[in-house]
């Protein structure tokens, strides 16, 4: 499979069950998982958890991040507010692989209302197993953090 990593996972209330399922699965695979919340199904604001996730990824506290909300859209927007983080919204493994290989994504986002646990796991496997290709992609990735 792949080498164990430190992975942060965060969601909003809509993705609480998917987050719990994915957290346990990742731990079973030998990864160290930082669950950034939430811990209950009470309504929360996805930007709060997206910003928290982006912060630990940007600090280098974890190797990769997984962001979840109802659609994946809102939390991915929040995560991408941090210039050190590249979050890709994915719904199938090809995009999850390509966001690593071509865009050096360090976070993926998925929508719990749009993707089931098995597809989410397939996306995570592709994301964690893939490496950034560099080369012709590097200058483009550099522009994501330094747009001027």
| Predicted confidence (pLDDT) per residue in 88-115, tens digit | 999 999 999 999 999 999 999 999 999 9
- Which positions are annotated as active-site residues? 69, 102
CB hemisphere CA count around 65 (13 angstroms) = 35
The tens digit of pLDDT for each residue in 65-81 reads 999 999 999 999 999 99
- Asked, for residue 97, whether it belongs to a domain, the answer is yes
- Residue 72 belongs to some domain of the structure: yes
CATH of the domain at 119: 3.40.1400.10
Per-residue pLDDT band for 133 (boundaries 50, 70, 90) equals low
What six digits make up the tokens of 145? 């953090």
Q: What is the pTM of this model?
A: 0.95
21 part of a folded domain: yes
79 lies in a domain? yes
75 domain residue, yes or no: yes
Mean pLDDT of the 54-66 span = 97
Count the alpha carbons within 13 Å of 94 in the hemisphere toward its beta carbon: 0
Question: 121 is in which domain, residue-wise?
Answer: 6-145
Q: What is the tally of structural domains in the chain?
A: 1
Evaluate whether residue 1 is within a structural domain. Answer: no
Q: What confidence score (pLDDT) does residue 7 get?
A: 98
Q: Report the distance separating Cα 109 and Cα 124, nearest Å.
A: 10
Q: What is the pLDDT of residue 99?
A: 93
């Amino acid at each position: 499979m792949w080498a164990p990593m430190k992975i942060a996972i965060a969601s909003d209330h809509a993705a609480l069950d998917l987050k719990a399922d994915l957290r346990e699965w990742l731990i079973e695979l030998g990864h160290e998982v930082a669950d950034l919340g939430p811990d209950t199904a009470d309504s929360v604001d996805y930007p709060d958890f997206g910003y928290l996730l982006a912060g630990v990824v940007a600090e280098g506290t974890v190797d990769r991040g997984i962001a979840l909300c109802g659609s994946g859209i809102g939390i991915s927007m929040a995560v991408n507010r941090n210039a050190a983080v590249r979050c890709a919204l994915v719904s199938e493994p090809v995009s999850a692989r390509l966001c690593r290989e071509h865009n050096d994504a360090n976070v993926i986002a998925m929508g719990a209302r749009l993707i089931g646990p098995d597809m989410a796991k397939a996306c995570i496997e592709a994301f964690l197993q893939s490496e950034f290709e560099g080369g012709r992609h590097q200058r483009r990735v550099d522009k994501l953090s330094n747009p001027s």
